[in-house]
Amino acid sequence: MPFSSSVLVNVKTLSVYIVSCLFQDKPQPPPEGRLPDATKGSDHLRQVFGKQMGLSDQDIVALSGGHTLGRCHKERSGFEGAWTTNPLVFDNSYFKELLSGDKEGLLQ
């Protein structure tokens, strides 16, 4: 039996609402947040994302690579500003900056 169009509309509306609630900015991050400490290194990333969340090293690399876009917020991580010199371009500049060790606070 196929779904009626009204059921599909309701499901779509509900799913958009649920997803949008997950990404609303909050004044402060939750104290029980599961994100890693931004001041710790790669071993900490493996502990949080690998052991606690079940991600592989390849998953962690892909997730970290997303930092080539956007910026960090002081109230959430203690750091302020863009992760790369051009945060509007998706490239491997974040990876290059990690390897160079020049930018203070990046996985040190």
Which amino acid, residue 83?
W
Place of tokens 């900015």: 25
Question: How many residues are recorded in the chain?
Answer: 108
pTM of the model: 0.52
Give the confidence band of 29 by pLDDT, cuts at 50, 70, 90: low
Which amino acid, residue 104?
E
Please give the Cα distance from 69 to 50 (Å, whole number).
23
Q: Classify the C-alpha dihedral 53-56-57-61 as positive or negative.
A: negative
pLDDT the model gives residue 6? 62
Give the confidence band of 92 by pLDDT, cuts at 50, 70, 90: confident
Helix axes 57-65, 93-100, angle to 10 degrees: 110
pLDDT the model gives residue 75? 76
Average pLDDT over residues 20-48: 72
For residue 18, the tally of other CB atoms under 10 A from its CB is 9
Superfamily of domain 1-107: Peroxidase, domain 2 (1.10.420.10)
The string of pLDDT tens digits covering residues 93-104 is 877 877 777 766
Q: What is the 3-state secondary structure (H, E, C) of 13-75?
A: HHHHHHHHHHCCCCCCCCCCCCCCCCCCCHHHHHHHHHHHCCCCHHHHHHHHHHHHCCEECHH
Name the average pLDDT for the chain. 73
